[in-house]
Amino acid sequence: MMSAKPTIKLLSTPEIDPEKGLVLTARAVPSPNFDDRPEGMQIEALIVHAISLPPGLYGGAYVEQFFCNQLDQDEHPYFAEIADLKVSSHFFIHRSGELVQFVPIQKRAWHAGKSICMEREAVNDFSIGIELEGCDEDTFETAQYQTLIELTQILIAAVPALTEQHIYGHEDIAPGRKTDPGPGFDWPAFRLALSAQKLQVAAKDDDSL
Ligand SMILES: [Zn+2]
C-alpha cells in the first residue's frame, strides 16, 4: 500500500467497502472537500443536517455541485453568496431517498462548522455528516427516513465507536447559529424506527439459537 494506514478501522459488513470507506448502496460523487481526521481519532457521532439549493427548492443537482465546488454562481443570486465556500458532508439523501456519498467514512468532511458536541469542539474530527434534502419550513419524505434509518444502521454496524445514543441535529450542536434539520424532522419517529429495527435483529438472533 502506498498510503499510510488509516487510523480508523471499519468493521467489515456486507453493506460497505471497509477499505474505501464507501457505502455500497450510495452513488459516489467524490468531493475534494475533505482531509484526514486527527491521528487516533474515533468516529463517535452522527450529525443530521438539511440543505436545499436554492433554499426551499428540490430536485436539482445544485447541492451535489456545491459540495464539489462546481456551483455556477450565475445560476441563482443566492449561489453567488455561497459559491466560494468549501464544504461537504459524507452523505446526502435526496427527496426520493437516493443516497449519495461525497467523502469516505474514515475521512473528515467539512459540515459542522463552529459547534460543540459531547462537550467537544472540532466536531468534524469525530463525526459523520448526513445531509437531507430539505429545509426548516418543511417536513421530510418517508423515503428519506427509510434511507436515513438504513444508513444509520449500516454506519453503527461498521464504525466501532459509533452508537445510536450519539445522533444529533446540526441545530443541537450549533444552537443560535444553525437551525437544520429543523422542526419538520421527526426525531421521535426516527429514534423509534432505529430501536424497533434493533429489537427485530435481536429477535432474529434469538430464533437462531
Ligand atoms: Zn447543517
Give the pLDDT of residue 198. 72
Ion ligand 1, residues whose Cβ is below 5 A away:
49, 170, 180
Task: Inform me whether the pLDDT recorded for 208 exceeds 70.
Answer: no
**Cβ within 8 Å of residue 72, ≥6 positions away:** 65, 79, 83
Backbone angles phi, psi at 128, to 5 degrees: -115, 135
Å from CA of 204 to ligand 1 middle: 36
206: three-class secondary structure by DSSP: helix
DSSP code string of 146-161 = HHHHHHHHHHHHHSTT
Give the pLDDT of residue 187. 98
Å from CA of 128 to ligand 1 middle: 12
Residue 200 pLDDT class (50, 70, 90 cuts): confident
Residue 197 pLDDT class (50, 70, 90 cuts): confident
Q: Is the dihedral of CA 21, 140, 65, 121 positive or negative?
A: negative
Give the pLDDT of residue 108. 98
Give the pLDDT of residue 4. 54
161-186 pLDDT tens trace: 999 999 999 999 999 999 999 999 99
CA angle, 76 then 94 then 162, to 5°: 120
**Cβ within 8 Å of residue 133, ≥6 positions away:** 50, 51, 52, 58, 63, 92, 93, 94, 95, 144
d(CA 34, CA 78): 24
Residue 10 pLDDT class (50, 70, 90 cuts): very high
Class of domain 16-207: alpha beta
**Cβ within 8 Å of residue 127, ≥6 positions away:** 43, 44, 45, 46, 47, 111, 112, 117
Task: Tell me which of 131, 133, 141, 171 is the catalytic residue.
Answer: 131
**Cβ within 8 Å of residue 12, ≥6 positions away:** 18, 158
Neighbours of 6 (CB within 10 A): 17
- Does residue 164 carry a catalytic annotation? no
Å from CA of 8 to ligand 1 middle: 24
Closest CA to 161 of 81, 106, 209, 80: 106
In the chain, what percentage of residues exceed pLDDT 70?
A: 93
Å from CA of 157 to ligand 1 middle: 24
Distances (CA, A) of 7 to 39, 62, 110, 130, 193: 6, 33, 18, 21, 31
**Does residue 54 have a cis bond before it (omega within 30 degrees)?**
yes
Give the pLDDT of residue 3. 52
Give the pLDDT of residue 48. 98
Å from CA of 90 to ligand 1 middle: 12
Mean pLDDT check: name the lowest of 51-60, 68-77, 91-100, 199-208: 199-208
95-114 pLDDT tens trace: 999 999 999 999 999 999 99
65-84 pLDDT tens trace: 999 999 999 999 999 999 89
Average pLDDT of the residues in 28-47: 97
Å from CA of 109 to ligand 1 middle: 12
